[in-house]
C-alpha cells in the first residue's frame, strides 16, 4: 500500500536513530555460504519476460482508520501465486488490518476487483483473491515460491511498479539472511520475531509487495522495505507464507500462536554476558552449525501468558520440546499449539527455568471490528500496538478521534479508559455506554497516550448523534467486507440545569454595563462547508438582547451555519446556543441561547452607538483573553479604512464594503468592544476576515444594529445587494477620470475626500448588465453616494436608481438587487466520500462562477472521491452526460446507480476550465446521506 520510497524514508529515519553498533547487535552477518554463480543478462531477459505478466499493480484504499493504519489512498505491487484460485501475494501493510477496497491491474491493463483473504497479525504478508474469469486477454501464470533459494550471494531482481505508473526492475545481491526485522516507527505496523533478508542493491527504489526473483523465475522472498541512505533493501522470508497459502488452498483456518513475547537474535558473545553457560552454547552450536547466536527475550507483554513466569533477558532454549535455534523453530511450535500449554525452557543467569504456558491465539488479540461514532473510529487495542509500548493487550484504541472525541481532548492513537465516569476496557463496554447517551450530552472522558501511559488525560466531550452515523462493523472473512449494524435508537438528552453566576467587575465603572454583555462564544464545525478553514473556534460575543438571548459575534468564530455552539458567561457557566443569522456580506453573526439557563446571572445588553469611530478618537478596549479574563485598555484609533478586497482559495466569506478602524498596540485577546466615554459600544472589536486571514479590527455597530428589529421578531433577515465590491477612490483620481468640479464641490461639502467605485461585480447578478467595473458612484437611490452605509440602505429595495461616471460621462441607471439568505448553506450531501453543497456566494462574488451545479467542499481520505479524484473547489455540472443544476438534480441523477457503478462526472474548476472524472462507486463503505436544516435543527437522512 505505502509506496516503497515513502516507506524507505521512514525506515531511514528509524535506522539513523539507532546508536552506532546497534545494527550489528540485532543480527550477525551470515557467512560461510558459497554464492551461486552470477547469471548472464540473456538468462535474466528470458526470465523477466516470463515473470512480468504475473506481477500486478494494486490500487488500494483504506476506507477507515483502523489499528495501525490511517484512511488513505495509495498504490503497491503484488504477484500471482495461484492462477486457479486467483491468489495474489503482497505485503500485510498493503492488505491492511481494516476495511479496504482494492483493484489489481495486470500487465495488459485489465483491472479486477480484489477481495482480502488474509493479513498476517505479525509478519508483513497478506493475500488477495480475484476471479480469474475476469481476466480475459492475458494468460495467468503463477510464480513459484522457493524460500530455500534465498541464500547469501544469490543474484536477484525485484520486479515492481514505480508509483503504479511503470514497471521497475531492480538488480541486487543477497547479503544476509538473518537480519533483524526493520523498524518503521512506534505506533504503526512493525514486523517482529522473524529474520529478514538483506540485499545490496544499486538503488533503494521499488514497490511494496514486489516479488524478489532468482534467475529461474522463482520467488525467493517478498519485498518489504529498504534503507535509502545505505542503498539496502529488506525482504521477508517465505516460510510462513508457504504455510499460509497451503491452508488457504485447502480451505483451512490459518492458526497463529503467541506467548506475547518479543525475542531478538543475539550473537554468542552477547548471550555469554547474560550468563549463558558454555555447555548451552556448545549444544546450540552443534544443533545449528550455520547459526551464530541465540534468541533472547526483549519484551514481555503485561498480562500475557509469559508475564509471571519469564523475564526480559532470559535466553530461550526450547519451546514445546523443540530447541529454539531460530524464530522459525519457535513459531512452528506455537502455530500448532494455539489454546494448548507448552513447556518453555529458558536460561536465566546460568540457571535453567521451566514454565508451562498457554499459547494465545494471535488472531483473537488482533481486532476485526470497530465502532464508528461521532466521526471517530474505535477498535480493540491490538497486540501489534500494545507490545510496542509494553501495554496489556486490552483496552479501546482511538484509531481516529473524529468530531466527537476530539471535543473532549481525546487524541489520535490514544487509549480510552473511561466515558461518563464509567471504566472502559472493551469495545462492548464502550458501545453500551455511548448508546446510552443522548445527542448534545456533555460527559467526562478519560484517556492516555501509549507513549505516555502514566499521564491520564481528562476532558468533557459533547456527544454527537446528529451529524454522523453510529454503527458497529465487523469483518466477514468469507467476503472480505465489513458489514455494519446501525445503532439508531437515540436516548433523550438530559436537560441543562439552570445556574446563576457572578460576573467580573471592571474599572472604570462606566465600562461595567458593556462588560456585563461580554460572553465567550465557542463553535465546533463537523463538516468543512463554505470554505471554512478549521473546525474549532472561539471568540467574544456581545449580548444584544438579554430577554431573547441574542448575541452578536464575528464570522471568524461562527463562520458557517452547520455546527455546535456554546456561550460562556463570566468564565463560569457554559450553555448551548444556536445560530440564527449569518450576515452574507459582513463579519457579524448572531447566535441565541435560552435565557432561562442562566438563571439570575446579571447580564445586560450592549448599548450600541450609531456613530462609527473616527481617527484620533480615544476609546477603551474591553475584551476577553483566551483564559476568559476581562481586559481593559485605553487605545487610540489610528486609521479608518476599507479592509481590502482579497479573494480566498478555497472561496470563503470575507469582509467588504465597510470602513474598519485600527487602533494602536492592544493586549492579545479574542475580541470584544471599543467603548466610549459614555459607556456605549462605539465599535465591535472582532476578528475580521479578508478572504485569507482574520485580524482584529473595529467594525461599525450599524452592521448589526440596522438588522436588530427583525432579529428581535425571530426572523433571519434577508440581505439584498447589487453584488458589487466597492473601492475607495480619491477625488483627485476621480477628477483625472473626468469628474466635474460641480460634483467635487458637492462631495467636499459633505466632508468627503473619496468616493466609491465599482471594483468587482459578482457573476450573473442583474446589476452586472448595467454596471461596469471602474464606474464611479455619484448617487444611489437619489442620495449622494457618500459612504458604504448609504449604499447598503439604498440596496434594501428590489431596484434602485444610480448615477455613475463612466469614462468621463454621467449615466443614469436602474439596477436590480438580489436577495441573500441570512441562514447560509442549509443542506449538504455526502456522496462517495465527497462533501457536496450548492455553490455559495463567494464562489460567484470573488471567482466569477455561476451558482449552478454542485460544489465540492471537501473530500474524505480513503474514499472514491479522493481516489479518482474529485478535487475540492470544483463544481459538478453533469452526471453521465446529463446536466445537473443543483443538489436535488444531482441526487436524482445518482440515486439508481448500483454498487461499483462507473460514474462519469463533468466538472469545472475555479477558472471555469472543464474536466471529466470517472469514479467507481463504493456504496458499502461510502453510502449517500444528507443533512438539512429544519426549524427543529439539522437532520441527517441516510
Residues known to be catalytic: 93, 124, 207
- Among residues 122, 62, 55, 59, the alpha carbon closest in space to that of 92 is found at 122
Q: What is the dihedral of CA 735, 740, 743, 745, to 10 degrees?
A: 80
Contact predicate 383/260, CB 8 Å: yes
Tell me the C-alpha distance between 733 and 747, whole Å: 14
| Cis peptide bond prior to 650, omega within 30° of 0 | yes
∠ CA 99-100-101, nearest 5°, is: 145
Q: List own/partner pairs for 556-559 with CB under 8 A and 24 or more apart.
A: 556/587, 556/686, 556/687, 556/688, 556/689, 556/694, 557/521, 557/523, 557/589, 557/671, 557/687, 558/521, 558/523, 558/582, 558/589, 558/591, 559/523, 559/525, 559/530, 559/532, 559/652, 559/653
DSSP conformational letter for 935: T
Alpha helices in 20-142 (DSSP H): 22-26, 41-51, 92-95
Contact predicate 844/851, CB 8 Å: yes
Contact predicate 102/129, CB 8 Å: no
Length of the chain: 942
Any bridge partners for residue 376, and if so which? 373
Task: Kindly give, in sequence order, each residue whose CB lies less than 8 Å from that of residue 571, ignoring residues fewer than 6 positions away.
Answer: 504, 520, 627, 628, 629
Note the maximum CA span of the chain: 114
Q: How far apart are the first and last CA of the chain?
A: 31
- Residue appearing with cell numbers 504456558: 357
Tell me the C-alpha distance between 480 and 39, whole Å: 41
DSSP conformational letter for 385: H
- Among residues 817, 811, 812, the alpha carbon closest in space to that of 793 is found at 817
- Residue appearing with cell numbers 511498479: 161
The Cα-based distances of 161 to 59, 78, 164, 167, 211 in angstroms read 11, 9, 5, 5, 11
Handedness of CA 612, 618, 624, 630 (dihedral sign): negative
Contact predicate 336/319, CB 8 Å: no
Q: Got the DSSP string for 222-268? A: EEEEEETTTTEEEEE-SHHHHHHHHHHHHT-----EE-SEEEEEEEH
b/e code 689-719 from CB counts within 10 Å (16+ = b): bbbeebebbbbbbbbbeebbeebeeeebbeb
The Cα-based distances of 462 to 115, 438, 539, 545 in angstroms read 38, 10, 19, 27
Q: How many CA atoms lie within 13 A of 710 on its CB side?
A: 13
DSSP conformational letter for 71: S
The CA R_g of the chain, rounded to the nearest whole Å, is: 34
Residue 495's CB is within 10 A of a number of other CB atoms, namely 7
Task: Kindly give, in sequence order, each residue whose CB lies less than 8 Å from that of residue 126, ignoring residues fewer than 6 positions away.
Answer: 89, 90, 91, 92, 94, 95, 96, 116, 117, 118, 119, 120
DSSP conformational letter for 410: P
| Helix (H) / strand (E) containing 498 | none
Amino acid at each position: 500500500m505505502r509506496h516503497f520510497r515513502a516507506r524507505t524514508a521512514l525506515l531511514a529515519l528509524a535506522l539513523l536513530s539507532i546508536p552506532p553498533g546497534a545494527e550489528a547487535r540485532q543480527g550477525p552477518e551470515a557467512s560461510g555460504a558459497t554464492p551461486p554463480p552470477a547469471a548472464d543478462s540473456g538468462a535474466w531477459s528470458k526470465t523477466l519476460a516470463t515473470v512480468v505478466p504475473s506481477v500486478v499493480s494494486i490500487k488500494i484504499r483504506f476506507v477507515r482508520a483502523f489499528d495501525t493504519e490511517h484512511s488513505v489512498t495509495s498504490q503497491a505491487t503484488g504477484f500471482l501465486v495461484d492462477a486457479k484460485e486467483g491468489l495474489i501475494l503482497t505485503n500485510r501493510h498493503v492488505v491492511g488490518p481494516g476495511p479496504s477496497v482494492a483493484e489489481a491491474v495486470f500487465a495488459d491493463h485489465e483491472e479486477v476487483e480484489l477481495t482480502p483473504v488474509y493479513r498476517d497479525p505479525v509478519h508483513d504478508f497478506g493475500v488477495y483473491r480475484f476471479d480469474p474469469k475476469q481476466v480475459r486477454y492475458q494468460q495467468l501464470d503463477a510464480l513459484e515460491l522457493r524460500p530455500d533459494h534465498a541464500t547469501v550471494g544469490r543474484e536477484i531482481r525485484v520486479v515492481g511498479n514505480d508509483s503504479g505508473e511503470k514497471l521497475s526492475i531492480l538488480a541486487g545481491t543477497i547479503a544476509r539472511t538473518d537480519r533483524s526485522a526493520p523498524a518503521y516507527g512506534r505506533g504503526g505496523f512493525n514486523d517482529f520475531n522473524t529474520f529478514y533478508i538483506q540485499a545490496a542493491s544499486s538503488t533503494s527504489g521499488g514497490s511494496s509487495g514486489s516479488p524478489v526473483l532468482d534467475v529461474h523465475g522463482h520467488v525467493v522472498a517478498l519485498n518489504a522495505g529498504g534503507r535509502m541512505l545505505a542503498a539496502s533493501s529488506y525482504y521477508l522470508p517465505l516460510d510462513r507464507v508457504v504455510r499460509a497459502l497451503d491452508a488457504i488452498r485447502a480451505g483451512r483456518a490459518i492458526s497463529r500462536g503467541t506467548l506475547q513475547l518479543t525475542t531478538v537474535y543475539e550473537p554468542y558473545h552477547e548471550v555469554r554476558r547474560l550468563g549463558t553457560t558454555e555447555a548451552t552454547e556448545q549444544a546450540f552450536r552443534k544443533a545449528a552449525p550455520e547459526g551464530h547466536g541465540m534468541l533472547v527475550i526483549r519484551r514481555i507483554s503485561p498480562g500475557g501468558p509469559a508475564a509471571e513466569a519469564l523475564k526480559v533477558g532470559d535466553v530461550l532454549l526450547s519451546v514445546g520440546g523443540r530447541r529454539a535455534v531460530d524464530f522459525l523453530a519457535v513459531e512452528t511450535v506455537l502455530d500448532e499449539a494455539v489454546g494448548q500449554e507448552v513447556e518453555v525452557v529458558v536460561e536465566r543467569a546460568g540457571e535453567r527455568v521451566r514454565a508451562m504456558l498457554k499459547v494465545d491465539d494471535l488472531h483473537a488479540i488482533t481486532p476485526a471490528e470497530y465502532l464508528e461514532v461521532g466521526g471517530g473510529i474505535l477498535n480493540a487495542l491490538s497486540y501489534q500496538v500494545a507490545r510496542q509500548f509494553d501495554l496489556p493487550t486490552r483496552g479501546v484504541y482511538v484509531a481516529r478521534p473524529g468530531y466527537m472525541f476530539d471535543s473532549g481532548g481525546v487524541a489520535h492513537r490514544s487509549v480510552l479508559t473511561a466515558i461518563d465516569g464509567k471504566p472502559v476496557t472493551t469495545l462492548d463496554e464502550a458501545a453500551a455506554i455511548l448508546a446510552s447517551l443522548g445527542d448534545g450530552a456533555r460527559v467526562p472522558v478519560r484517556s492516555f497516550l501509549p507513549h505516555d501511559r502514566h499521564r491520564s488525560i481528562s476532558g468533557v466531550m459533547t456527544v454527537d448523534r446528529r451529524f454522523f452515523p453510529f454503527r458497529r462493523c465487523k469483518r466477514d472473512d468469507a467476503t472480505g467486507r465489513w458489514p455494519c449494524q446501525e445503532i439508531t435508537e437515540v436516548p433523550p438528552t438530559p436537560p441543562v440545569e439552570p445556574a446563576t453566576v457572578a460576573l467580573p467587575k471592571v474599572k472604570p465603572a462606566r465600562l461595567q454595563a458593556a462588560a456585563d454583555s461580554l460572553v465567550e462564544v465557542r463553535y465546533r464545525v463537523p463538516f468543512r462547508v463554505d470554505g471554512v478553514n478549521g473546525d474549532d473556534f472561539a471568540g467574544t460575543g456581545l449580548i444584544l438582547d438579554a430577554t431573547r438571548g441574542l448575541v452578536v459575534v464575528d464570522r471568524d468564530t461562527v463562520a458557517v451555519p452547520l455546527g455546535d455552539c456554546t456561550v460562556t458567561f463570566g468564565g463560569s457557566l457554559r450553555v448551548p446556543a444556536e445560530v440564527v443569522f449569518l450576515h452574507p456580506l459582513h463579519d457579524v453573526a448572531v447566535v441565541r441561547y435560552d435565557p432561562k439557563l442562566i438563571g439570575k446571572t446579571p447580564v445586560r445588553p450592549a448599548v450600541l452607538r450609531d456613530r462609527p469611530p473616527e481617527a484620533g478618537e480615544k476609546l477603551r478596549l474591553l475584551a476577553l483573553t483566551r483564559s476568559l479574563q476581562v481586559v481593559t485598555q485605553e487605545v487610540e484609533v489610528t486609521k479608518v479604512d476599507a479592509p481590502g478586497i482579497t479573494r480566498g482559495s478555497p472561496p470563503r466569506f470575507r469582509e467588504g464594503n465597510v470602513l474598519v478602524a485600527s487602533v494602536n498596540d492592544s493586549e492579545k485577546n479574542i475580541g470584544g468592544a471599543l467603548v466610549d466615554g459614555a459607556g456605549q459600544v462605539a465599535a465591535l472589536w472582532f476578528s475580521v476576515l479578508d478572504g485569507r486571514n482574520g485580524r482584529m479590527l473595529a467594525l461599525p455597530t450599524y452592521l448589526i444594529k440596522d438588522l436588530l428589529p427583525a432579529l428581535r421578531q425571530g426572523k433571519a433577515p434577508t440581505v439584498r445587494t447589487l453584488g458589487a465590491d466597492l473601492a475607495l477612490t480619491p477625488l483627485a483620481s476621480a477628477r483625472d477620470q473626468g469628474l466635474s468640479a460641480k460634483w467635487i464641490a458637492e462631495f467636499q461639502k459633505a466632508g468627503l475626500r473619496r468616493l466609491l467605485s465599482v471594483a468587482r461585480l459578482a457573476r450573473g447578478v442583474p446589476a452586472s448588465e448595467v454596471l461596469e467595473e471602474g464606474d464611479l458612484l455619484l448617487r444611489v437611490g437619489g442620495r449622494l453616494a457618500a459612504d458604504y452605509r448609504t449604499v447598503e440602505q439604498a440596496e434594501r429595495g428590489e431596484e434602485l436608481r444610480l448615477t455613475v461616471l463612466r469614462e468621463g460621462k454621467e449615466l443614469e441607471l436602474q439596477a436590480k438587487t438580489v436577495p441573500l439568505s441570512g441562514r447560509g448553506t442549509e443542506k449538504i450531501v455526502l456522496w462517495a466520500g465527497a462533501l457536496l453543497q450548492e455553490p455559495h456566494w463567494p464562489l460567484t462574488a470573488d471567482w466569477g462562477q455561476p451558482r449552478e451545479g454542485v460544489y465540492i467542499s471537501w473530500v474524505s481520505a480513503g474514499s472514491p472521491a479522493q481516489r479518482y479524484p474529485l478535487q475540492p473547489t470544483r463544481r459538478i455540472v453533469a452526471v453521465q452526460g446529463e446536466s445537473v443544476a443543483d443538489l436535488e438534480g444531482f441526487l436524482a441523477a445518482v440515486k439508481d446507480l448500483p454498487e461499483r457503478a462507473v460514474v462519469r462526472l463533468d466538472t469545472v474548476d475555479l477558472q471555469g476550465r472543464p474536466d471529466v472524472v470517472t469514479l467507481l462507486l463504493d456504496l458499502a463503505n461510502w453510502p449517500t446521506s444528507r443533512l438539512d436544516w429544519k426549524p427543529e435543527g439539522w437532520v441527517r437522512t441516510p
